[in-house]
Amino acid sequence: MKLIITKDYEEMSKTAAVIIAETVKTKPNCVLGFATGGTPIGTYKELIRYYKEEKLDFSLVKTFNLDEYFGLGMDLSKPYDKDQSYARFMQEELFDHINISKDNINIPYGLAKQPEKFCIDYENKIKKAGGIDLQLLGIGGNGHIAFNEPGSSLASRTRLQPLTKKTLKDNYESFFKKAGFNKEDMPCSALTMGVGTILEARHLLMLVSGKSKALTIKEAIEGCITSKITASAIQLHPGKVTVILDDDAASELSWSLDLV
């Protein structure tokens, strides 16, 4: 596992974008796994800059997103700011601004009528694409990766997963409240790639920012591998794992800060 400690959120985002851009340059038809949440927004801004200023070409890139709220999806009949789907988030924060082909974008469909079948098909689609070359990850306040809440099997696959009170509270504060949602209207389950699915990506790139994540990431990378903190499963990855932290997120680690 490679740790990169950066001075702040901006440097973390730029460092992550360099790694993603290099992946695209080296393999123009690569398969990227994308994540949502506050953490990757700066990275997406930087990727948009790469496209606009340095002509980074996304036309052959395929993408698979980690997760989506169950009950939400791209429903354009709803007022834009009311739609808090991750599909809308990805359009707005990245896909609308780069030359990615719509046919190459895959996001779990939160309005799927048969979620179990959808999840099996999603797994098959990842396999058919040749697997994920690089999977971007954040970490939740409760240590989750994607929506693999505490107690999720470390071998789990894409599935419908109920969300914990902690995740509902965190995500309500970060996103739903601003959009005028009542707490009780927030979806309380999600379609998510499993921990086992994520571990099959060839390169895991985890981003961690802020003091509030410092103890969680310490437990995830220095602690025991446990389904209580599903992010700890990245320790099991047999290949390339890069964790980029800002100084605040790294503040509880035992290692020295000179690891860049």
Active site residues: 67, 142, 144, 149
Q: For 183, phi and psi rounded to 5 degrees?
A: -55, -40
Residues forming beta bridges with residue 208, ordered by sequence position? 245
Which residue's CB atom is positioned nearest to ligand PGA? 37
Q: Give the Cα separation of 29 and 4 in Å (integer).
A: 27
- Angle, alpha carbons 186-193-31 (nearest 5°): 120
CB of 103 vs ligand PGA, minimal distance in Å = 27
Residue 140 is a binding residue for ligand PGA (CB under 6 A): yes
Residue 139 is a binding residue for ligand PGA (CB under 6 A): yes
Decide whether 108 or 140 has the Cβ nearer to ligand PGA.
Answer: 140
Task: Please give the C-alpha separations between residue 207 and each of 29, 215, 236, in angstroms, as whole numbers.
Answer: 23, 14, 18
Q: Give the Cα separation of 126 and 2 in Å (integer).
A: 25
Decide whether 130 or 162 has the Cβ nearer to ligand PGA.
Answer: 162
Decide whether 101 or 212 has the Cβ nearer to ligand PGA.
Answer: 212
CB of 25 vs ligand PGA, minimal distance in Å = 26
CB 189 within 8 A of CB 162: yes
CB of 26 vs ligand PGA, minimal distance in Å = 27
Q: For 89, phi and psi rounded to 5 degrees?
A: -55, -50
Decide whether 56 or 201 has the Cβ nearer to ligand PGA.
Answer: 201
Q: Which of 33, 110, 138, 143 binds ligand PGA (CB under 6 A)?
A: 138
Task: Please give the C-alpha separations between residue 215 and each of 47, 107, 145, 170, in angstroms, as whole numbers.
Answer: 29, 30, 15, 16
CB of 150 vs ligand PGA, minimal distance in Å = 13
Q: Give the Cα separation of 116 and 246 in Å (integer).
A: 38
Decide whether 39 or 158 has the Cβ nearer to ligand PGA.
Answer: 39
CB of 96 vs ligand PGA, minimal distance in Å = 20
Subset of residues 17 to 56 that bind ligand PGA, contact rule: CB under 6 A? 37-39
CB of 147 vs ligand PGA, minimal distance in Å = 8
**Element at 241 (helix H, strand E):** strand 240-246
Stretch that binds ligand PGA, among 87-95, 132-140, 155-163, 235-243 (CB under 6 A): 132-140
Decide whether 37 or 73 has the Cβ nearer to ligand PGA.
Answer: 37
CB 129 within 8 A of CB 64: yes
Q: Which of 1, 8, 174, 236 binds ligand PGA (CB under 6 A)?
A: 174
Token pair, residue 20, equals 């993603």
If you count DSSP H runs as helices and E runs as strands, how many of each does the chain have, helices first?
Answer: 7, 10
Stretch that binds ligand PGA, among 43-51, 79-87, 136-144, 237-245 (CB under 6 A): 136-144
3-class DSSP state for residue 190? strand
Binding site residues, ligand PGA, CB under 6 A: 37-39, 138-140, 174
